[in-house]
């Protein structure tokens, strides 16, 4: 526990350094950018402020990219989500400026409005457009938006009917929160997993939460995601009614609720969870990063997605030996398929392996999991049962023999060397490569 805490502390301190470094460089670039030619300014500001995430060549592969979800946009694809233009078109300069100055809420993309204005902002937009040759040959135009329909009980009800007619529920659920959705796993144009938006949480809408913003999102589609454009499917008036309906679904964020509202909100959450424990379990498992460890690494810092939860990441932890993360898929022979609920619970909360032996309190964070409520443990177990089976036989942990163990301890305790730990890319299980 002490060591895993120390490890977390180190990560935390590194993250603070990374963020403060980014901010101070961003601030100093604001001063520098007042002089010089405009394309050069755009390039310089981009390299300082945007490249850490979006990469120097705009490929979405900057040094911070690997740690972000969703990942930064790859500008070389020339594909943008938050546009006022027809599906498949480029965004207008105004669209780009909006994303840059207001940021994309719910993602790592910051709001640059305070630092980037006027000519500097124009220059950054001009530089961004150099990453895709499409900008040289196409002239994007905003779509006509028709007349806005005011919000009223009648227009909201009419919008609800449009929501049904257009089958938004197949992805967003009957309640806008995903309940009853038939499609649940989504990928973006780069093949990375993306999360569906909860339509009751307007503060997470990347493109803004006004009726006009929402109208534009489904009117023009989110290019590079599974959400299509709905132009022509219904009349313009119906689209406005739908937008008004979506806005009406928005709830208050928890931080703005009073006591009564909070109690009522958490009751409704609990009801939702008891209706669908596996879904809640998925939410917990994603939030707790189980897949980050229990999926092999691809060597570029990401996980091999075709082996999701199939185990195979190899760790060495100083004098404690070598561990390969076990297979958590529902495969009966090599995963958790043959385990009883109690066996899984014991592993999660007591660190007891199936053969009754004990794990160390790291790398598997069972001491933290032990603090979960029973219903939360049940939800995680219910979700693990639904993870598609992958046959990947994982070797047992290898404790070091006695003398290397003593030598390791001596180095740490007497020579005060850092705790040596390493993580290796590739799958250390029997299934080779990422094929499946
Ligand atoms: C801390 C990381 C980070 C930094 C720094 C950053 N971005 Fe982003 N940016 C992101 C992420 C993440 C996304 C994708 C969000 C998503 O998929 O919803 C994104 C998306 C975008 C988009 C796409 C909008 C769309 O409609 O698809 C633009 C444009 C953009 N960023 C411009 C910039 C510019 C210009 C800068 C520098 C001034 C910058 N970003 C700096 C993380 C960052
Ligand atoms: C095929 C699945 C699918 C369907 C059908 C679908 N959506 Fe979406 N929707 C998504 C996904 C995925 C996202 C999140 C995209 C992302 O984060 O990159 C999203 C995001 C949104 C957003 C958030 C936009 C923002 O600014 O962040 C709104 C609003 C929305 N959808 C409304 C609708 C409406 C209204 C309909 C029906 C007309 C609909 N969606 C149909 C998958 C779908
Ligand atoms: C920091 C990396 C890490 C994280 C995060 C992590 N695990 Fe583990 N997990 C391991 C390792 C390593 C083992 C094997 C330990 C051993 O046997 O000594 C393990 C073992 C297990 C086992 C026992 C399986 C078996 O075959 O013995 C289960 C079940 C499990 N983890 C579930 C989870 C769940 C659920 C989460 C998320 C809540 C999670 N793990 C998060 C690294 C991790």
Q: How far is the CA of 218 from the centre of ligand 2 (A)?
A: 7
For the CA of 188, the closest atom of ligand 2 is 18
pLDDT of amino acid 436:
37
Closest ligand 1 atom, CA of 95? 26
Say yes or no to pLDDT of 93 above 60: yes
Ligand nearest 4 Cα, by number? 3
- 111 touches ligand 1 (CB under 6 Å): no
Closest ligand to 196 CA?
2
Q: What is the pLDDT of residues 304-326, one digit of tens each?
A: 888 999 999 998 877 778 889 99
Confidence category of residue 373, pLDDT binned at 50, 70, 90: confident
pLDDT at 384: 96
Q: Can you give the pLDDT at residue 65?
A: 84
Three-state DSSP state, 358: strand
- pLDDT at 400 (0 to 100): 67
pLDDT at 310: 95
**Å from CA of 57 to ligand 3 middle:** 37
What is the 238 CA–ligand 3 centroid distance (Å)?
A: 50
What domains are there in the chain, each with its CATH number?
Answer: 17-137 (1.10.760), 153-251 (1.10.760.10), 290-336+388-436 (no CATH)
Ligand 2, closest atom to CA 168?
Answer: 37
Q: Is the minimum distance from the CB of 222 to ligand 2 under 6 angstroms?
A: yes
Cα dist from 117 to 28, 124, 317, 399, whole Å = 15, 10, 49, 58
User: Which ligand has an atom closest to residue 63 CA?
Assistant: 1
Kindly compute the dihedral angle of the four CA atoms of residues 62, 63, 66, 70, in this order, to the nearest 10 degrees. Answer: -50
pLDDT of residue 317: 77
The tens digit of pLDDT for each residue in 20-49 reads 545 545 444 444 444 446 788 999 999 999
Distance CA 257, CA 268 (A): 14
Q: Which residues of 365-394 are buried (b: 16+ CB within 10 A; e: fewer)?
A: bbeebeebeeebbbbbbbbbeebebbbbeb
Question: CA 245 to CA 162: how far, in whole Å?
Answer: 9
Q: Which ligand is nearest to the CA of 295?
A: 3
276: confidence class by pLDDT, cuts 50, 70, 90: confident
User: How far apart (Å, rounded) are the C-alpha atoms in residues 109 and 28?
Assistant: 19
Closest of 183, 206, 201, 203 to residue 193, by C-alpha: 183
- Residue-wise pLDDT for 103-149, tens only, equals 999 889 999 999 999 999 999 999 999 999 999 999 999 999 989 99
pTM of the model: 0.68
Specify the pLDDT at position 227.
94
pLDDT in the model for residue 270: 74
226 Cβ below 6 A of ligand 2: yes
Q: What is the mean pLDDT of the chain?
A: 86
Condensed to tens digits (0 to 9), the pLDDT of residues 223-247 reads 999 999 999 999 999 999 999 999 9
Distance CA 216, CA 227 (A): 13
356 or 13, higher pLDDT: 356
- 99, 197, 204: residue to mutate for ligand 2 pocket, most atoms within 8 A of CB: 197
pLDDT at 435: 40
| CA of 204, closest atom in ligand 2 | 27
Q: Which atom of ligand 2 has the smallest separation from the CA of 214?
A: 29
CA–centroid distance, residue 222 to ligand 2 (Å): 7
The rounded Å distance from CA 71 to ligand 2 centre is 18
| 70 within ligand 1 shell (Cβ under 6 A) | yes
Ligand 1 pocket, 48 CB below 6 A?
Answer: no
Q: Which 3 state secondary structure label does DSSP give 279?
A: helix
Q: Alpha-carbon dihedral of residues 95, 101, 103, 108, nearest 10 degrees? A: 130
Q: Which residues line ligand 3 (CB under 6 A)?
A: 285, 288-290, 293-294, 315, 323, 325-326, 328, 344, 347-348, 353-354, 359, 363-365, 369, 380, 397
Q: What is the mean pLDDT of residues 180-205?
A: 85
Residues 229, 221 contacting (CB under 8 angstroms): yes
Residue 375's pLDDT is: 85
Give me ligand 3 centre to Cα 186, in Å.
26
Question: In the predicted model, what is the mean pLDDT of residues 187-212?
Answer: 89
Per-residue confidence (pLDDT) for residue 230, from 0 to 100: 95
């Amino acid at each position: 526990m002490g060591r895993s805490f120390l490890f977390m502390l180190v990560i935390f301190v590194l993250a603070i350094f990374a963020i403060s470094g980014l901010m101070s460089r961003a601030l100093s670039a604001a001063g520098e950018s007042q002089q010089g030619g405009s394309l050069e300014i755009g390039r310089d500001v981009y390299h300082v402020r945007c490249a850490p995430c979006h990469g120097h060549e705009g490929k979405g592969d900057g040094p911070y990219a690997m740690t972000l979800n969703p990942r930064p946009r790859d500008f070389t694809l020339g594909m943008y989500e938050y546009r006022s233009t027809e599906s498949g078109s480029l965004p207008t300069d105004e669209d780009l400026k909006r994303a840059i100055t207001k940021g994309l809420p719910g993602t790592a993309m910051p709001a640059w409005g305070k630092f980037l204005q006027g000519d500097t902002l124009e220059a950054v937009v001009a530089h961004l457009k150099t990453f895709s040759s499409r900008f040289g040959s196409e002239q994007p135009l905003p779509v006509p938006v028709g007349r806005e329909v005011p919000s009223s009980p009648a227009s909201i009800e009419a919008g609800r009917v449009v929501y049904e007619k257009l089958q938004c529920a197949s992805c967003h659920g009957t309640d806008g929160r995903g309940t009853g959705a038939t499609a649940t796993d989504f990928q973006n144009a780069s093949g990375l997993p993306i999360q569906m938006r909860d339509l009751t949480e307007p503060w997470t809408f990347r493109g803004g939460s006004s009726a006009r913003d929402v109208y534009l999102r489904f009117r023009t589609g989110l290019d590079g995601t599974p959400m299509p454009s709905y132009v022509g499917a219904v009349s313009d008036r119906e689209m406005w009614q739908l937008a008004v309906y979506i806005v009406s679904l928005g709830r208050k964020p928890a931080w703005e609720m009073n006591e009564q509202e909070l109690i009522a909100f958490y009751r409704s959450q609990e009801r939702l969870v008891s209706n669908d424990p596996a879904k809640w379990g998925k939410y917990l498992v994603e939030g707790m990063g189980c897949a980050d460890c229990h999926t092999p690494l691809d060597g570029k810092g990401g996980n091999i997605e075709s082996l999701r939860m199939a185990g195979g990441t190899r760790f060495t932890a100083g004098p404690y030996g070598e561990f390969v993360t076990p297979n958590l898929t529902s495969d009966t022979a090599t995963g958790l398929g043959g385990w009883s609920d109690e066996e899984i619970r014991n592993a999660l909360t007591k660190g007891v392996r199936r053969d009754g032996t004990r794990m160390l309190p790291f790398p598997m964070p069972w001491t933290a999991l032990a603090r979960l409520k029973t219903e939360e443990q049940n939800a995680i177990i219910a979700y693990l049962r639904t993870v598609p089976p992958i046959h990947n036989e994982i070797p047992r942990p290898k404790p070091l023999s006695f003398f290397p163990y003593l030598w390791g301890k001596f180095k740490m305790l007497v020579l005060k060397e850092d705790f040596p730990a390493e993580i290796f890319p590739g799958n250390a299980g029997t299934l080779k490569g990422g094929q499946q």
